[in-house]
Structures are given as C-alpha cells and as structure tokens.
Amino acid sequence: MSDSPNILFINTDQQTWDAISAYGNTWVKTPHIDRLVENGVSFMRSYCTDPVCAPARTSWMTGRYSSETGVPFNGGLLYDDIPDLGQILNAQGFPAYHAGKWHVTDRNVRDSFRCLYFGEREIGAGGAEFYDPATTHAVLDFLSRHEDEQPFYLQVAYVNPHDVCEYEHSHEYKTVPGPDILGFPTLDELPPLPQNFSYDPHEIMVQMAFRRGKKPLIHEPIMTAAADWSQEQWRFLRWQHYRFVEQVDHEIGLILQVLEASPFRDKTLIIFSVDHGEAAGCHQMIQKFTLYEESVRVPFIVASLSDTFGLAKGSRDTTHLVSGIDLLPTVLDYAQIEPTADLPGCSLRPLLEQQPVRWRNSVYLECNVWGRAIVTERYKYITEYYPAADEITVPGPAEERLGREQLFDLKTDPDETRNLADEPAKSVHLLNFRDELLQRESRLSRRPLLEKPAAIMKRWGRLLEEGWRQETTSTLE
C-alpha cells in the first residue's frame, strides 16, 4: 500500500448536478470546482442511489443500496454488521480521516474514522456558516502538519448548499421578504423559472403522497406554503441555491490552495461528488425526495493537481452510467484493498485509466421506500410498489405490486416533461424495464428494519395505503 495515492474525497450536500459554472451555468460562479473539472474527469451521467441525505451517504460508506443498509430514509438505522469505508480502510492499515458532516445514522463516526473535526454534537442539517469554515480549518491544519509518509484517505463533508433548506423552511409560518423588498434593482438578476416548472399530473402515487397536496408525508408546512409562491419567489429560491453553492465553493478553494503548496500535491487523487440534488423549482418542487433528474443526478469528478494518475484532464464522460455505490470500490481499488465479492458497485479506475472494461448499461435508484427508477443511456423508467399492511422490509421484487409508471426519453426530453408510459409504441420498453427492475431487486439483500425506522415505515405505509384506496375510489366513481 505504500505506493498507493492519498485519496481526498470532497463532498457537498444538496447541490444540483449542473450548479457548476464550468458546465455552462451562467447563474453561478464556482471557480474552484471548475478547477477540479479542468484537472479531472467529469462523469456526466452520475446518479445517487437514493435522493435523501442519510440513505445516499450510507450508500457511499457501505457500497450498498439504501434498502439493504437499514437506512431507506432519514431516521433509518444502519445494521451493525455492515462495515463502512472507514472501518475497512483502517482495518487494512490504510489511515482514514474524516472532517465535517457524517449523517450515517446509528454509526458513530469516531468508531470508523480518525476525526479531524466533527464537533461535540453531531453536525445537523443546517449551520453551514459555522460548520463549513470549521471543517475547512481542520483540513488545512491536517495538510499543513501531517508528516506521516504513509498514504491516507481523507473525506471532507460540507453542509452547504444544504442551507437552502433553512431558507425554504423559513417560509413555513411567516412571509419571507422577496427580492423586490430586499433591493434587487431588477428581477433580471434572478435565474428564470426552469423549463420543467410544471409536472406530470399522473406521477407515481408515492411522489404525490410524499410531496404533493396540502398534507404531504414529508415537510407538510413548507410544501403547503410553497403552493402559494409567486413565480418570482420560485426564481428567488433558485438564486438562493446558487449563493449557497458559491459559499461552499470558496471553502473548497482554500483546501485546493493549501494542497497545491503541500508535499501531498503530486500523490493525491481528488474525488468530488454530492449526496443528492436540489429541485429548486423543477417540477414545482423543493429539496429532494424525488426520482427526477434534478434530485438524483449528481456531479462526480475525479481530479488531480498533478499529472501522476494519467487522467484525461478536462474530459467529460457522457457514456458511462455511474452510481453512488461506486465510490467505495473506487477508493478501495486505489488503496489496493480487495472489496468483498457481493458488493454491487464497480471501481471507476479502469475508466479513469482508459482501460477496456465491461460496464453497466443502466443504474438503479430507490426513493421514499416504495419508489424505484431505472436509468439507461436514453430512457428513465419510474415506478413504485403498492404498500402492504404493516410491512417493515423494503419491498421487492414483486411484479404484482407494481403501481403507476412513468417513462421519459432523456435524449429528446431531458427535462422530463412528457410521460410516455401510456403510449402503445412504448409498451415493449415498459416490459423490458419491469423485467430489469425485478432482476436487479432479486439480487439485493434486504431484511426487516430495526424497531424505530420500522415504526416510521409502518406509519407511512398506512397513510400511503389510504391514498391508494382514495385514488381507486375516485377512479371508479
């Protein structure tokens, strides 16, 4: 392992995949993430495993899907017998360090990593103005003082731009000043509404129950308030999201500056990614919790400030479909540690080194326990499972329980505005997607959730069952 590189994994929270100026977004300025783009390979078809913080981060750390880890939603509990990346690395003599947000529930980060900064209390969903600079300073101190010649793994987990949630939640019980009151000289300074501001009225029921209407299962107060927003308020939300992205970009720049001047510059591989996106008005939605591109598609960049690793710098891989489950095997590959054979992810190293390799032709996604999606080169298939009474294991495979379906042609309709599921010409596609979904799920290792998350799942399942009954009654009438 002595000839392995140092591995620096920088991640942000809730950053839309294209909120990067190097990708052509003129409404945000990210010079430091742009530097990673220029010095690395950008995987442009990268997806999280589940568009929620704890599920996505647990997948990063275990290399498994959220339905397998015990964390299919925030509030799930990771099974004790599943090792995480820090435990694996440290057990093999490869020092693993952590700084910043963790959010892998029921796993003490200090039992898995050597913590540079985590705070006396767990870093929560907000407070990036305090936590992110503290995280950066801990990393700068490490890079300035670390003298061990042994290679290391260091993950730096920032809160921002997740603080856009705090902006959103501030609308729950009061009116927040809009851009006109705050002194914007012209509304032309605000990003326009997204092309897909409207949404499919025949979405899967899971999406509608969790995130639509006056009493959604998640974040009822803010979703109710947002239903009455003006177009200017939605545009201001997008403006706010970009400002939080710029704040975290500044922190990343400080790390890159010190890394450049450190003795680790030439032997450090940098990985940058995001746990999930922010809808920011797409499909008239806020935050995440959906299977649309704005929530599930994420940046994934592998870079280096030197030419040590043979990266095709400045390149953008638009061919290979990448998933959050690929992080762990990629890190282990560079650390020269063999992963267990049953992990579903793949190391990206052969792609980075332009080596011939058989690669997946689709990625699999989960959301809100019952939601599912398959993404191929061209299409996205979204479906769901009907809830069953008091179930406490994430469902699947079960063809007889499949519910509504959505099918989008991402080549001709990248904004997912036209559901093709009811078109007779697409019936073969639907059959193929159902078959692939069931095959993929047959390979997953699922078991009952632990007590507290099981109670949450049962409560949600009962409410979802009621929604299905009401929908069936309405249709019959």
Task: Give the mean model confidence (pLDDT) for residues 422-427.
Answer: 96
Is the pLDDT assigned to residue 269 strictly greater than 80?
Answer: yes
- For residue 454, the tally of other CB atoms under 10 A from its CB is 18
pLDDT of residue 473: 54
Per-residue pLDDT at 185 exceeds 80:
no
Percent residues over pLDDT 70 in the chain: 98
User: What's the chain's average pLDDT?
Assistant: 94
Predicted confidence at residue 35, as pLDDT, reads 98
| Per-residue pLDDT at 470 exceeds 80 | no
pLDDT tens across 278-323, in order?
A: 999 999 999 999 999 999 999 999 999 999 999 999 999 999 999 9
Write out pLDDT tens, residues 45-68. Answer: 999 999 999 999 999 999 999 999
What is the per-residue DSSP string for 139-176? HHHHHHH----S--EEEEE--TTTTHHHHHHTTSSSPP
Phi and psi (nearest 5°) for 60?
Answer: -50, -50
Q: Scanning the structure block, which residue is given the tokens 């799930």?
A: 76
Q: What is the reported pTM?
A: 0.96
**CA dihedral of 433, 439, 443, 449, whole degrees rounded to 10:** 60
State the average pLDDT over residues 252-281. 98
The model's pLDDT over 328-387, given as tens digits with 9 standing for 90+, comes to: 999 999 999 999 888 999 999 999 999 999 999 999 999 999 999 999 999 999 999 999
pLDDT the model gives residue 201: 85
- Min mean pLDDT across 128-132, 168-172, 314-318, 322-326 is at 168-172
Residues 6+ apart with CB under 8 A from 130: none
Residue 313: its pLDDT value, please? 98
